[in-house]
Chain A
Amino acid sequence: MSKDNKDVLTGHQVVANAMRQVDPDVVAAYPITPQSEIVEYFSQYVADGKVDSEVITVESEHSAMSACVGSAAAGARTMTATASQGLALMMEIVYIAASMRTPIVMTVANRALSGPINIHCDHSDSMAARDSGVIQLYGEDAQEAYEFTLMAQRLAESEDVLLPVMVTLDGFTLTHTAQVAELLPDEAVSEFVGEYDARYPLLDVENPTTQGPFDMPDYYFEHKLQQVEAMENVPARFLQVQEEFNDLSGSNYDGLFETYKLDDADYAVVVLGSTAGTAKVVVDELREKGKKVGLLKPWLFRPFPGEGIKDALVDKEAVGILDRSLSFGSSGPLYLEISSALAEEDRKPRLYNYTYGLGGRDIKEDQIADVFEDLANPDLEDKMRYIGARQ
């Protein structure tokens, strides 16, 4: 089967359509820029009878995630969407959602965390959730955000996973811009996502369960290890879901990260999300000039596919890692992952950490070209560089 609904759509519209096609039993969400329109579109679909979900218009994101946990534990297919302060407010319950193994699919329209308050894109919100136990997928464009939302449903509900999945797309850059996107037919998505059959639903009143009990030191550790095991099962499951999705859609997903002209490259950048699109243009331009440059873009950030990324980068001369969030007093989250993946290698590339795009600061092609130029300098000093920031 192939995609037959090529259209010009915003990130909001594609995600809302993915949600409509998944047909969740319950959506609980609270408005926040740049996420709001996703749930607005979705609510309109409900009002127009195009989807049968219950939308819980909660009074906060904390309650959104709380209601999602209740709903998913009840056995309902459950989705939500948020950004920035909303994700920060629901964070307490994001951890609980993961520990209770509720397969909630949530969109995060990436936006900078306050303060100062700022509505524009960076990854500080989703990065703050990186240790919460949720799976994280980063989309480069509306198409990926759409497809990840569909695949997320299958991944979350896999028997040996049962974890929330966060699908991120860059706020404004992807949410508010119209892009060419191809939606699958509704029936194809229905067939792909199938029915959700919860293992211990709270609504199974014949078989009562106590969910979310109190652990003392004699059990807590083991319960955490069950989450570790579930995370370890994610890569294989994700690859399997990709394969099925490719069959359905004609897409070419084939891994936990995407590489672009990386195989024979001497110099590479690693970047998440929409900036990969800009970086690919730069790679093309430099390649035309005979420079051996390439790009690596993780699709999956949690669990982090360190092993595969190590193999893909180990033979490079130098790698620039572009982080769109800070970990004050340390290096960027992406840099830390990659340097730790390569730590045991005797011969490894020089690694450099760049912070870019905080609070929606633009990043331009020439700035990425400058990174590649930096990388070619064997004497480049190892320190954090801040792209486009006044110092």
Chain B
Amino acid sequence: MASLETLAKREEKKRKFESGHSLCAGCGLPIAVRTILNSIDGPVVASNATGCLEVATTRFPTSAWNINWIHNAFENAAATISGVESAYRSMKSKGKIDEDIDFIAFAGDGGTYDIGLQSLSGALERGHDFTYVTLDNGAYMNTGIQRSSATPKGASTTTAPAGEEKYGKQEKRKNLTEIVAAHEIPYVGQASISHLQDLADKSEKAINKDGPAFLNVLSTCQLGWRIPPKDAVKVARKGVDTCFWPLYEVDEGEYNITYEPKEKLPVEEWLEPQKRFAALFKTGNEEVIDEIQEDVDKDWEKLQAKVS
């Protein structure tokens, strides 16, 4: 595992992603992006879907990106980078360029789980050599915290709010990491902004694979999760320690759990600090928490069974 010292050293090099953007304090996005880009040695070209990351880092005429970066639209970060990567392969084979370049796409959960799923699936199947990173903060944050298919059951969002009758989102979230794994690509990793060494290792592996690789990164949103900015990393860590968000990888088809919580915490510890789940703690909703716990337990067992 990359040491903390190594991670700190990487920060001293010319940064690929700079400060000066307008992402909120306590936002997980820049933490993830910096860690991932710091793990890439050579030149890299990024595509970025519409969303908080894109809007808050490229307000014209400013940019937080020291790498070649392209934003096309919301649902097409994968298709866009597949065009860039194909251009690279074509021009390289014709001798028009000679550098070795890596390719990466960044998109939110909305830009991936929902509107961008087809574009991602197509690009994975076509086998482009790129890494796709989903920054999963569990809702459409940029447009005002609307529910996505990544929104956890029980969370209150502006389009599935808690009210007199309902506690918030009724449905379990989509398991995108497994959907991507079913594409049988060289590398799939699930990571969190609470575990940066793990994220750095997964990034390195992903980017160094020939062919498509995918990272699903749990990323905090202080506005949407209704947490104090200073607690961002702490809350994300609860997601991992409750096994709501297990850290694992599927490397050439082989499942590895990359971090085993010393003690698997009850799911309340993840839910309770986040005010988006507040309704679950009102009398009458106890069984919803039980259901969430059951879902987490089942998924965790299923995952463990996949590790040979």
> Residue on A with the closest CB to B61?
A219
In the complex, A64→B86 CA distance in Å?
12
In the complex, A120→B165 CA distance in Å?
52
Chain B residues near A58 (CB-CB < 8 A)? 79, 82, 122, 126
In the complex, A14→B69 CA distance in Å?
37
In the complex, A190→B76 CA distance in Å?
33
**Contact bitstring A72-106, B, C-beta under 8 A = 1, else 0:** 11111010000000000000110010001000000
| Among B67, B78, B121, contact of A208 (Cβ-Cβ < 8 Å) | B67
> Residue on A with the closest CB to B89?
A54
| Among A26, A53, A96, contact of B72 (Cβ-Cβ < 8 Å) | A96
Chain B residues near A64 (CB-CB < 8 A)? 79
Question: A75-B91, A76-B90 are known contacts. Are A203 and B54 too (CB-CB below 8 A)?
Answer: no
Q: Which of A58, A64, A216 has the most CB of B within 10 A?
A: A58
B79 adjacent to A208 (CB under 8 Å) = no
Chain B residues near A72 (CB-CB < 8 A)? 83, 87
A74 adjacent to B76 (CB under 8 Å) = no
- List residues of A (211-232) whose CB comes within 8 Å of B's CBs: 211-216, 219, 223
Chain B residues near A212 (CB-CB < 8 A)? 58, 70-72
A52 adjacent to B93 (CB under 8 Å) = yes
In the complex, A68→B85 CA distance in Å?
11
A380 beta carbon closer than 8 Å to chain B = no
Count class of interface residues, chain A: 35 or more
In the complex, A66→B115 CA distance in Å?
14
Chain A residues near B66 (CB-CB < 8 A)? 208
Q: List 19 A-B contacts (CB under 8 A).
A: A25-B90, A54-B89, A59-B121, A59-B125, A63-B122, A67-B86, A69-B70, A70-B85, A74-B83, A76-B90, A78-B83, A92-B73, A205-B68, A211-B68, A211-B69, A212-B72, A213-B63, A215-B60, A219-B60
Chain B residues within 8 Å of A, Cβ to Cβ = 43, 45, 47, 54-55, 58-61, 63, 65-73, 75-76, 78-91, 93-94, 96-97, 99, 101, 118-119, 121-123, 125-126
Chain A residues within 8 Å of B, Cβ to Cβ = 25-26, 28, 52-54, 56-60, 62-64, 66-76, 78, 92-93, 96, 100, 202-205, 208-216, 219, 223
By Cβ-Cβ distance, the 8 closest A-B pairs, closest first, are A70-B83, A59-B122, A67-B83, A76-B87, A74-B87, A213-B58, A205-B43, A63-B79
